[in-house]
Amino acid sequence: MTTTTTTTTTLFTVIASILFAAPVFAAVPEFNPEVPLNLDRYEGSERPDQDVVMERFNGTFDAIDHCVELERKRAHVDQVDGNASVDVLLDPEGNRPLGVNAKIDSDKSQKKLKGCLRQAIASAKFPGYDGPPVVVNFEFEIDPGYED
C-alpha cells in the first residue's frame, strides 16, 4: 500500500511540475498576410488607436530583452546582431493578437529567438476597437547594445 501511495505522489509531483512549468500563453499562431480576411463578420469601421498600440508594444521591451539574453546564452555571444520585423494581426476584441509573424534579417537560423519574440509581443495587451482585424508592423534592432 505504501508503494502505491509513494508512486502516486511521485507521479502527481511530476505532472504538477510539468503543468506549472508550461508557458502562460499557448503557442502564438502565425498568419499568412496574403490570405484575405473575411470582413463580413465585422460591422464597425474603427481602427485601433496608434498611440495605444505603440504604448502596448513598448511595454514588451523587458520581455524582448529577456529573449535577447536567452539568445546570447544559447549562441555564446556578447551581442545578437540584426534587425527584427514583427507583424501583429490585432484582434478587435483586444488583448491577445490573432497572430504574430517575426522576421530576423540575420543569416543565422534563430528559430528560438523568433519564437520568443513572437511570444513576447503576443503578451502585450493590445487595445480593443470596433472594426475588422488589422495588421501593425514593428521594426527594431534586436540587440542595440549600450552607449557609454
Q: Phi and psi for 62 in degrees, rounded to 5? A: -65, -40
User: Residues 55-75: pLDDT tens digits?
Assistant: 999 999 999 999 999 999 999
pTM reported for the whole predicted model: 0.75
Domain boundaries, the chain: 29-141
What's the topology of domain 29-141?
3.30.1150
* Parts of the chain with a pLDDT under 50: 1-25, 148
Burial of 56 (0-12, 13-18, 19+ CB in 10 A): buried
Q: What is the DSSP string of 23-61?
A: -SSPPPPP--TTSPP-GGG--------HHHHHHHHHTTH
